[in-house]
A and B are shown apart, each in its own frame.
Chain A
Amino acid sequence: MNAHDPEVHSLLGPYVLDALEPAERAAFEGHLRECPACRDEVADLRPAAAALADTPLSPPPALREQVMRLAAQTRPVRRGARPASRPASRPSRRLWVGAAAAAVLLALGGGLVATQRDDTMTAADVFSAADVHTHEMPTKMGKVRVGMSHEMHVVAVDGSAMTDPGAGMAYEVWWAAPGHTESVGMFQDDESVVVPMGEGDLWITMEPKAGSATPTSAPLLSLPATSL
């Protein structure tokens, strides 16, 4: 198969869905190496395929410990770095193969999101994300703007259009799920805040500036995570 063979190019959809046999997958990846436009097309369709995987399920806590323990025994591979004279611990072959596979996926990934070089995300970064979903919601304290980026896995809450909650008071952001309400951030009426994506409903309540361990007033806003 030739790299410019239209037959090879027709494998694009099956490739992004991982629906190719190994031989055709290899042929298509060979095609991608020589075709920047095709890499862009792949990169363009990948987020749509990855969105199909949106059925989050937390693994058991023990898995985290195991992964962290195994990670502590190996070190990240520096691509392009000269091999050390003798690695402290010899990584298993399996891990090397894994890194190589990741590198291939990376090399073939194609462009998607602009880079952000700041240390932390600002609300502006989230509101300008390529995949942001923005909601303007009325509350009795004025309009609040909420932006969710699935890719960044965060929610930005912009309180710049909200009114002053009064002396000694501030707004607190929560994730409220049955039996568990967690405080994730606070902001003043002229501020915005970025909080991690969570489960249940996103709540905003008015609380004393020192913050509350659990909500002490009725939510001004309650937005289910699934509607973000």
Chain B
Amino acid sequence: MPRRGLLRAVPAAPAAPEELMAAVADGDLDAFGGLYDRYAAAVHGVATRVLRDPIRAEEVTQEVFLEAWRGADGYRAELGGVRTWLVTIAHRRAIDVVRSVEASRAREDRAGRRELHEVPGPETEVLADAERADVRRCLEGLTPLQLESVRLAYYDGLTYPQVAARLGRPLSTIKTRMADGLARLRDCMEAGA
């Protein structure tokens, strides 16, 4: 038998994410606190990256977790990991906020903002943003057009027609580059795992 009894009490092994979600679905607030502690930085990170506004990012982070609390019973582990689930919800919400804010801006204001957006972010920015070494390495493996298409959509919240206009490429090309860029990223990450 392991000699655990002799060891000083250290934090218990973390519950499996699926178990945490099941407890949250049962209305266990402590489990919900555990879920928050584990994933708040991931959720807040993506919200901040997309919104570039700490207050709005906090609002989105709060909504995502309350949504997870209310909707935990619908989580199905076989449909995906908890982090991916939360980050997916957070990204979509952040993008929706970006678009509704932009849509509500005055016309001239929007024009000014578009000019600001015209300044292309250097590719190194996205590479440096990816904290994990494997993600950075895999992003380097994308073609420049794949990288730019994915970056403008995911980080800047542009729709694919906006990306196509920005890059001066046909819609069909951009749609394809987004899909094959993601597929290449996935293949690279799976190969490195």
Contact = CB atoms under 8 A, between A and B. Distances in A.
Interface in B7-40: 7-8, 10-19, 24-27, 29, 32-33, 36-40
Given A112-B81, A226-B133, A106 B74 contact: yes
A55 B49 contact: yes
A54 B133 contact: no
B80 A110 contact: yes
A152 B65 contact: no
Given A68-B36, A110-B79, A49 B73 contact: no
B164 to A, nearest CB: 10
Interface in A98-128: 98-99, 101-103, 105-107, 109-122, 125
A10 B177 CA distance: 11
B158 interface: yes
B131 A56 contact: yes
B13 A56 contact: no
Tell me the dominant secondary structure on chain B's binding face: helix
A174 to B, nearest CB: 11
Nearest to A64: B36
Contacts of A196: 11, 14, 38
Contacts of A122: 13
Nearest to A182: B11
A136 B116 CA distance: 47
Interface string A167-196: 000100000000000011110101101111
A18 B153 contact: yes
Nearest to B84: A50
B56 interface: no
Contact of A16 (B3, B45, B79, B182): B182
A183 B10 CA distance: 8
A127 B186 CA distance: 19
Interface residues of B, number: 100
B122 interface: no
A72 interface: yes
Given A19-B159, A54-B135, A70-B66, A211 B182 contact: no
Contact of A188 (B2, B10, B12, B61): B2
A85 B81 CA distance: 34
Contact of A102 (B36, B44, B68): B68
Contact of B61 (A45, A59, A115): A59
Contact of A48 (B48, B57, B66, B186): B186
A125 B17 CA distance: 12
A142 interface: no
Interface in A64-114: 64, 66-68, 70-72, 74-79, 91, 95-96, 98-99, 101-103, 105-107, 109-114
A143 interface: no
18 contacts: A13-B180, A16-B178, A45-B182, A55-B48, A58-B41, A58-B44, A63-B61, A67-B36, A76-B25, A76-B73, A114-B78, A116-B77, A119-B15, A121-B16, A132-B193, A152-B17, A209-B3, A211-B8
Given A46-B84, A68-B32, 11 more contacts: A14-B160, A18-B92, A19-B154, A48-B186, A56-B41, A56-B131, A66-B62, A116-B77, A121-B16, A152-B16, A227-B133
Interface of B: 2-3, 6-8, 10-19, 24-27, 29, 32-33, 36-42, 44-46, 48-49, 57-58, 61-63, 65-85, 87-92, 95, 129-135, 150, 153-155, 157-161, 163, 172, 174-183, 185-186, 189, 192-193
Which 7 pairs, one residue from A and one from B, show the smallest C-beta to C-beta distance? A13-B179, A13-B178, A211-B8, A102-B71, A53-B46, A19-B153, A151-B81
Interface of A: 10-14, 16-21, 43-60, 63-64, 66-68, 70-72, 74-79, 91, 95-96, 98-99, 101-103, 105-107, 109-122, 125, 130-133, 150-154, 170, 183-186, 188, 190-191, 193-196, 209-211, 226-227
